[in-house]
Structure 1
Amino acid sequence: MKLSLFKALGIIDCCIFKRVDVNQFEAVYAEHEWLDILLPGTRDKQFFKAPTGSPFLDDFLMQAEEFWEFADYGKIESGIWNESIADNELKLNAFATMESGDFYLIINNVKQQFQERQQTLQSARELLLSNDKIVAQQEYVHQRLDEMLNQSSDLKSIQQPITEVIEKTEVGVAILTPNLKPISQNPALYSVFDSHLTAVESEPYRIILALFEKQYPEFERVISTGSRWSGELFWLQPPGNGKWIKLAIYPVKTDFQQITHWVFIVNDISQVKHLLQNNEKLTHYDALTDIPNRQYFWMQLEQSVNNAMPFYVLYLDIKNFKRINEIHGHSRGDQIIKELVERLTPHVSPGDMFARIGGGEFAIIRQKTVTEQQCVDLGNTLIDAATQPFYLPNGTHCEIGLNIGAASFPRDADDAETLMKFADLAVFNAKKASKSSVQFYSQALKDASQRIIELESALQTAITNHEFELFLQPMLDLTSGTILKAEALLRWNRLDGERIGPDEFIPIAEQTGLIVPIGKWVISRACEMISTLNHRGHSCKLSVNLSPRQISDRHLLEFIRGSIQNSHIQPDQLELELTEGVLVDNYDKVQYLLTEVRKLGVSVSIDDFGTGYSSLSYLKKLPIDHIKIDRSFVQDLVSDENDKAIILAIIAMAHSLKLNVIAEGVETELQRNFLQLNHCNLAQGYLFSRPLPFAQFCDYLNTTVSSQKQITPSALDPK
């Protein structure tokens, strides 16, 4: 061993021993004082024997003897261990190796390197915490600008307050038109790009757009769908220095989801990145989860493409992760991310790569030859693992979902960027479903996505074009046959004559936020119908459905109150229907809303009861008047004893809580007779009537009233 070079460079803090016999070692280089702590007297005698009195070193020497006996080349490593003797503490690492037929033991003192590494990690953690503050600051600036930009359609009238906000903030801000033309860029944005702007690229927003489009395959999807986005961009400055930029993109939209402005918020995070690049592991691995990061993932993806062997990419997206951070804070969100990775990692094959490529986004490269069905099976396994509750330190728990998009190389694409673009499209489509799912890219999926984009655009003008219509499906008292109320069901008749079913357009409206203005139109129209029915001498309550997005609308209560007053109807003629999922996901908001609407006199019904969470706690705590048995139980109640038992249990439970019961999907006399015999209060279904346009519903009411006597209020009491 050529020790002179190591000594001259001063790069070793180790002791080197040559094995002269079994468990006997001669010192080749043993000049460091810390050896006196580990192996007292060795520096003077220039040799030592095992056992040494150090349990960890003795254990490693046993492994080394076996290695030297059977191996022909290479080395083995002990890993870092602590050695505490008296008041002294060492951090050591040992190697057993061989050279020219001789065997060597090398013991490194890695305390200094360990401390430097810990300092690096701590600095990284501190910078990552400051990065969270950057995210919070970006969100604050976005909210301020969003409020201002939504206050007035006339940008000139709010130009001054906007200028004051963005010029005083330390983050870079660009406000753009819907077609990405600049309106305003603050000084902090220019300082991010400082003096390196060229004459051609004289404005920062041009650089940002170019970098985003070049470095992220989701650029096209984000812009075309008007989505929020955040990520990191790398800008190579002349003559060769690099700068890292954190970018957050926020679309500002009207109630009808038409983009009025884009807000780009930018931070220079080069300091964080340069620190990470000083540590190879931190460069390629996520600091929070210790799995490969986006940079390492893309390196591996490019390599997999170059290998030209078939493989799959799975793109994993945590459902509603932003809401978790908002409710529980970023630190709790980080803990959930770490626990999720711990759950998912055991299910990923050792030959596959599992990486974190965004805040709540992960990706898997399935290197081995697998089938599409095996990818589906893996996806479903990961979804099952992710949907188990996460328990927080305060004793509460939260639940998350996982959407997965997948694409195949080379079937779907033969380059890394397009492959990820298609996987991103697949996961974006998976988000449309209410439940977690696995979606594979296909031409049909691409066509379906184009259809969704086209329908979303058409939905934005459907109200102003008077394309919506409310159909009414009556609910009858099972004792008297009298129509007591009806459910308002939305229909969409496009100007080109195409009729779009609610199963197709409601999820799009919910996903995009268009459900909020559409839902307000439904409430307003239902109140107008009640008023018309009153003038025609019919006393019939109408029930309208509320979606999760509507519950989060802080103006909903005020709008309901205003609609009732403007239509001059009694509040008890309007009813709100909510699903069980809405109750659980937005419990606090639901509790406040239902309490306030009940004060107005509006009644409340729980829709699709029995298919969701079916918790007795919310039935007891929330102000509820009716529960609706889901049609899936009614459909087979005559032939299925389990459905019979469930329905009987629901009726008994509801009546004990002084709630009325409504059965959906009644289609046969046998179903009606069973429900009537067991004291179900009301029923709706094709046996009585399909959903009807308003004029036909009025005719149906006239026919029914002429053949039935008026029901007394006592008929609604639970029996």
Structure 2
Amino acid sequence: MDKRIKEIESDLTQSPKVVERNPIRSVIIYFIFGFLWILFSDRLLAMMVQDPELYQEIQTYKGWIYVVLTSVCLYFIIKLDYRKVLKLNADVSDRNQQLTTYNEELIAMEEELHQKLTTLYETTDALTEQKKYVDEIYNSSNAIISVWNLSGEILDVNDQFVEVLGYKLEDIRGRNWMDFLIPESAEPVVVDMIDRLKVGYRVTNVENEVLASDGSVLIVLWNNAIIQNPMTNETSVVSFGMDITKQRESERALQSMAYIDGLTGLQNRVVYESKLERYTRSKKPFYIYYVDVDDFKMLNDIHGHHKGNLFLKQYGMMLTQQFKDMEVFRWCEDEFLIIERRNDETDREKTVEAIRRLTQREWLLEDVVYQPSISIGTTAFPEDGEDAQALLMTIDMALYKAKSLGKGLNVNYEVALQYEVERLITIENAIVEALKRSAFKLYYQPIYDMRAGKVVTVEVLLRWQDNPLEISTQDFINVAERTGHILEIDEWVIDNVFQFVAKMKTKVLPYTVAINLSVQTFKSEKLIEFLEDEVAKYGIEPSRIAFEITEYSFIDDFDKAKTAVMRLKQMGFRISLDDFGTRFSSLNYLVKMPFDLLKIDKSYIDQIVDETAHAIVVEHIIQMSRALGLKSVAEGIEDECQYQQLCRMGCDFGQGFLMAKPAPIEELINLEPQLDYRKTPIV
């Protein structure tokens, strides 16, 4: 285009010169024509005309002819020049148009070039910023990044690599990372990774040990890929690593927690069940010993959980040391399991006796001397069960039988115990069916003011209508507690009692209603929420309800139990301590728990007339209750002598067959509030 513009400019430069030469040429032509005309016309005329007058006249005509001829000549010369000027103007105009077009094109090209330059600058700036961004990501990433060639030589590393592993780039660039980064134990994993990388160009999730510059060993999870440098066309490998050392340490710690009992250091029930599965598959015979420390709760209650934990630690250590050829597990709380591989010389009874001798001695727990007794249940593989599930059931039944017979006993599983297992399953199935059919019914037994003879409370008692198994209430309650169905039963009872109390709003209800809470229900995380929903559902006053709780509810976690009791009290419910005087009775509960009533167990009431010791205990319990601001309730009053003596002792309330038997709700509503025998004077 520049060449064409120069040609146009050259033409435009030459055209004026041509125009400039045209006048000179015309003058020269006119001069020559005039000179020749005058020269030759005068001579010719002088030769042809001799007469002066004619000569003068012809000379005049000659002048006019000259003027005419020169005018015609000038006309054609001027016309020719004019045409040239017009043509030149046209050419100039055309050239100007071309120059304008070319100029516009040049302007457009210049604008396009400027735009391209602007875009180029913007792209360059963007690439620069992108490079800074990539570099920032590269060096700010939490990932350990290294770039190396297939020979293993380090080409580049990011800041995280330097920070985590401690190697500076200038110190390791060009070095083979296998020589300083990988411990010998991890070399097979790394070599395998490189072989796979060469085949597949990408290898992910390779975990191996890495040596840091300070000599420490880290665990790094790598993702590797082969890449090609677009500038140099060289092939290299980029590795992205994450330091997972702490994660793996945490996993190992959690795994240890999952399989090792935190208190005793023994293998826990998870390991026991796993090994039991493995041992049963091996088909080699073995014995299982299930050890339970009798009344271990008393140690915690009297001397505190610290002493209890101290004993469990020492006991677990001694079991491990004494029975090195066996496997010892902590099942839960104060229960332990021991697996003994059998051979011709194995004697189960001798092992039981060895466990008993080890346990039933004096244990020095700092300043406390503790002498426990144990109950032991045993089972044998494969005689008593061919799989882990069967053995778990038989060993449980053996220990259950040992504990039900008393303390310090041993029971070997026998086939006869299978009947009890089958009976347990039968009762459980019947309970499930009864819940579906609402086959249970509530009876109410009045609790009387001992002196006024008025009903102050009614205790709710559960009865099973059309009982297909003809078992006692206590038996099916025990089974329900063991199987967990007691939670559903308790909720059914609470719902029906609340419904009854709500209906009685229209009548005068001169007494509260007492509901027994099982240990499982009391410990349930859902109890408070369930009660809140029930109160809102029926709109009853919680003060019309008293919950009876046994001491078994506080065995595992006293603080948690106290919190639960406080929640119930805050909601407005009354709380009774049931069955006081049996087994684990502790003054600690009475002092620290906000009870309203204390119920004296029937086993003491039965003997207060004939046994002086029982009478003394009951009287002291009544006096202690009064001193603590509690009301006392005597259970199981069956004759007038018991009634009279309890009145003399100052017992506040009483219940029993003497005064009223449990009855359905229909009879309760019409219950005579006064006792007929109240007229008998208290002696």
With the length of structure 1 as denominator, give the TM-score of the two structures.
0.48
Letter paired with 2:604: F
Map of 1:446 onto structure 2: 418
Map of 1:361 onto structure 2: 337
Map of 2:254 onto structure 1: 133
1:632: how far off? 1.1
Alignment check: 8 A CA contact 2:602 2:634 kept: yes
Give the secondary structure class of the aligned counterpart of 1:585. coil
Alignment check: 8 A CA contact 2:378 2:398 kept: no
Does 1:631 find its partner at 2:602?
A: yes
Map of 2:635 onto structure 1: 664
Paired with 1:444 and 1:575, the residues of 2 have a C-alpha distance of 42
2:289 corresponds, among 288, 308, 314, to 314
1:538: how far off? 3.2
Alignment check: 8 A CA contact 1:485 1:540 kept: yes
Indicate how the Cα distance of structure 1 residues 136 and 628 shifts in structure 2: closer, same or farther if over 3 A, else same: same
1:655: how far off? 0.5
Does 1:466 find its partner at 2:438?
A: yes
1:620 corresponds, among 591, 603, 608, to 591
Alignment check: 8 A CA contact 2:315 2:359 kept: no
Letter paired with 1:426: I
Paired with 1:597 and 1:135, the residues of 2 have a C-alpha distance of 39
Map of 1:591 onto structure 2: 562
Indicate how the Cα distance of structure 1 residues 492 and 626 shifts in structure 2: closer, same or farther if over 3 A, else same: same
Letter paired with 2:316: V
Paired with 2:365 and 2:387, the residues of 1 have a C-alpha distance of 35
Give the secondary structure class of the aligned counterpart of 2:662. coil
Alignment check: 8 A CA contact 1:624 1:659 kept: yes
Alignment check: 8 A CA contact 1:484 1:540 kept: yes
2:396 corresponds, among 415, 423, 427, to 427
Report 1:260-659 matches (<5 A).
Answer: 302=284, 314-316=289-291, 338-344=313-319, 354-356=326-328, 360-364=336-340, 404-407=376-379, 417=386, 421-422=390-391, 424-428=393-397, 430-431=399-400, 438-493=410-465, 497-659=468-630
Give the secondary structure class of the aligned counterpart of 1:479. coil
Indicate how the Cα distance of structure 1 residues 585 and 316 shifts in structure 2: closer, same or farther if over 3 A, else same: closer
Give the secondary structure class of the aligned counterpart of 1:647. helix
Letter paired with 1:643: H
Question: Gaps spanning 5+ residues in structure 2: where?
Answer: 1-246, 261-267, 297-306, 679-683
Larger Rg: 2
Map of 1:688 onto structure 2: 659
Paired with 1:415 and 1:517, the residues of 2 have a C-alpha distance of 33
- Greater CA deviation, 506-515 or 650-659? 506-515
Paired with 1:581 and 1:407, the residues of 2 have a C-alpha distance of 28
Indicate how the Cα distance of structure 1 residues 706 and 690 shifts in structure 2: closer, same or farther if over 3 A, else same: closer
Report 1:51-90 matches (<5 A).
Answer: none
Letter paired with 1:133: L
Alignment check: 8 A CA contact 1:487 1:542 kept: yes
Paired with 1:676 and 1:590, the residues of 2 have a C-alpha distance of 33
Paired with 1:595 and 1:416, the residues of 2 have a C-alpha distance of 46
Alignment check: 8 A CA contact 2:445 2:662 kept: yes
Paired with 1:425 and 1:135, the residues of 2 have a C-alpha distance of 29
Alignment check: 8 A CA contact 2:259 2:271 kept: no
Paired with 1:662 and 1:539, the residues of 2 have a C-alpha distance of 18
Give the secondary structure class of the aligned counterpart of 1:491. strand
Give the secondary structure class of the aligned counterpart of 1:671. helix
Paired with 2:269 and 2:425, the residues of 1 have a C-alpha distance of 18
1:523: how far off? 1.4
Question: Gaps spanning 5+ residues in structure 1: where?
Answer: 1-125, 140-227, 234-246, 248-292, 306-311, 322-331, 710-719
Identity among equivalent pairs (%) = 26
Alignment check: 8 A CA contact 1:472 1:489 kept: yes
Paired with 2:476 and 2:664, the residues of 1 have a C-alpha distance of 19
Give the secondary structure class of the aligned counterpart of 1:607. strand
Map of 1:216 onto structure 2: none
1:499-532 per-position Cα deviation (integer Å, ceiling 9, x unaligned): 4423222222222322222211111122222234
1:653-673 per-position Cα deviation (integer Å, ceiling 9, x unaligned): 111111110011111111111
Indicate how the Cα distance of structure 1 residues 415 and 607 shifts in structure 2: closer, same or farther if over 3 A, else same: closer
Map of 1:25 onto structure 2: none
Letter paired with 2:515: V
Indicate how the Cα distance of structure 1 residues 131 and 657 shifts in structure 2: closer, same or farther if over 3 A, else same: same
Indicate how the Cα distance of structure 1 residues 672 and 334 shifts in structure 2: closer, same or farther if over 3 A, else same: closer
Paired with 2:543 and 2:370, the residues of 1 have a C-alpha distance of 35
The RMSD of aligned alpha carbons is 4.9
1:263-310 per-position Cα deviation (integer Å, ceiling 9, x unaligned): xxxxxxxxxxxxxxxxxxxxxxxxxxxxxx9899989994x78xxxxx
Indicate how the Cα distance of structure 1 residues 519 and 338 shifts in structure 2: closer, same or farther if over 3 A, else same: same
1:603: how far off? 0.8
Indicate how the Cα distance of structure 1 residues 299 and 694 shifts in structure 2: closer, same or farther if over 3 A, else same: closer
Map of 1:43 onto structure 2: none
Alignment check: 8 A CA contact 2:449 2:653 kept: yes
Map of 2:139 onto structure 1: none
Give the secondary structure class of the aligned counterpart of 2:673. helix
Map of 2:235 onto structure 1: none
1:620-659 per-position Cα deviation (integer Å, ceiling 9, x unaligned): 2211111011111111111111111111111111111111
Give the secondary structure class of the aligned counterpart of 2:650. coil
Letter paired with 1:406: T
Q: Considering fraction of residues, name the structure with more strand.
A: 1
1:232: how far off? 7.7
1:156-198 per-position Cα deviation (integer Å, ceiling 9, x unaligned): xxxxxxxxxxxxxxxxxxxxxxxxxxxxxxxxxxxxxxxxxxx
1:681: how far off? 0.4
Paired with 1:476 and 1:423, the residues of 2 have a C-alpha distance of 47
Map of 1:258 onto structure 2: none
Give the secondary structure class of the aligned counterpart of 1:623. coil
Paired with 2:346 and 2:272, the residues of 1 have a C-alpha distance of 32
Give the secondary structure class of the aligned counterpart of 1:624. coil
Indicate how the Cα distance of structure 1 residues 333 and 616 shifts in structure 2: closer, same or farther if over 3 A, else same: closer
Alignment check: 8 A CA contact 1:294 1:356 kept: no
Alignment check: 8 A CA contact 1:651 1:680 kept: yes
